[in-house]
Amino acid sequence: MRSSIAAAAVLLFSPLALAAPPGDIVIGTITDLSGPAAVYGQAVVDAMRLRLDAVNAAGGIRGRKLRLVVEDHQFQVPRAVQAANKLINRDHVVAMVGNLGTAQVDAILPLLRKAGIPNLFPMAASRDLVQGKDSISWISGSLYYDQIRTGVKWMLAEKHKQAVCVLAQATDYGREVQQAVHDQLALTGQSVKAVVTHRPTDTDFTAPVTKLRDAGCDLVVMATLLRDTILPMATARTMGWTDVDFLGPSTTYDYLLAAAPGGATQGLYSVSSVVLPYRDKADATVAGWMDAYKARFGMAPNAASIYGATLIDLAVLALDRSGGDASLPKIAAAVRSIHGFRDLFGGTTQDFSGGARQGTRQAYIYRLEGGRYRQLGDATGY
Is 17 part of any domain? Answer: no
For residues 119 and 179, state if they share a domain.
Answer: no
> What integer pLDDT is reported at residue 22 of this predicted model?
67
For residues 225 and 260, state if they share a domain.
Answer: yes
> What integer pLDDT is reported at residue 11 of this predicted model?
35
Regions in the chain scoring below 70 on pLDDT: 1-22, 133
- CA-to-CA distance for 269 and 309, rounded, in angstroms? 24
Residue 232 near residue 209 (C-beta atoms within 8 A): yes
> What integer pLDDT is reported at residue 21 of this predicted model?
46
Is 227 part of any domain? Answer: yes
Is 16 part of any domain? Answer: no
Is 60 part of any domain? Answer: yes
> What integer pLDDT is reported at residue 179 of this predicted model?
98
pLDDT tens digit sequence for 4-38 = 334 333 333 333 333 334 689 999 999 999 998 89
Is 357 part of any domain? Answer: no
How are the residues of the chain apportioned to helix, strand and coil, as percentages rounded to the nearest 5? 45, 15, 35
Count of domains in the chain? Answer: 2
For residues 254 and 369, state if they share a domain.
Answer: yes
Residue 357 near residue 348 (C-beta atoms within 8 A): no
> What integer pLDDT is reported at residue 6 of this predicted model?
40
> What integer pLDDT is reported at residue 1 of this predicted model?
41
CATH at 228 = 3.40.50.2300
> What integer pLDDT is reported at residue 197 of this predicted model?
98
For residues 249 and 371, state if they share a domain.
Answer: yes
Sign of the C-alpha dihedral computed for residues 111, 113, 116 and 120 taken in this order: positive
Beta partners for residue 372, in sequence order: 369
For residues 193 and 212, state if they share a domain.
Answer: yes
DSSP string, 302-329: -HHHHHHHHHHHHHHHHHHHTTT--SHH
For residues 263 and 148, state if they share a domain.
Answer: yes
> What integer pLDDT is reported at residue 312 of this predicted model?
98
DSSP string, 48-104: HHHHHHHHHHTT-BTTB-EEEEEEE-TT-HHHHHHHHHHHHHTS--SEEE--B-HHH
For residues 156 and 45, state if they share a domain.
Answer: no
> What integer pLDDT is reported at residue 13 of this predicted model?
34
pLDDT tens digit sequence for 83-97 = 999 999 999 999 999
pTM of the full structure = 0.88
Q: What are phi and psi of 71, to 5 degrees?
A: -125, 140
For residues 371 and 296, state if they share a domain.
Answer: no
For residues 291 and 346, state if they share a domain.
Answer: yes
Is 35 part of any domain? Answer: yes
Is 78 part of any domain? Answer: yes
Q: What are phi and psi of 225, to 5 degrees?
A: -115, -125
Residue 243 near residue 218 (C-beta atoms within 8 A): yes
> What integer pLDDT is reported at residue 135 of this predicted model?
86
CA neighbor of 244 nearest in space, from 269, 208, 272, 271: 269
For residues 136 and 89, state if they share a domain.
Answer: yes
CA neighbor of 36 nearest in space, from 169, 235, 129: 169
Q: Determine if residue 22 is left, alpha or beta; phi over 0 gives left, psi from -120 to 50 gives alpha, anything else beta.
A: beta
> What integer pLDDT is reported at residue 326 of this predicted model?
81
pLDDT tens digit sequence for 222-255 = 999 889 999 999 999 999 999 999 999 999 999 9
Q: What angle do CA 67, 68, 69 make, to 5 degrees?
A: 120
- Domain containing residue 255: 144-272+365-375
For residues 262 and 343, state if they share a domain.
Answer: no
Is 241 part of any domain? Answer: yes
For residues 239 and 371, state if they share a domain.
Answer: yes
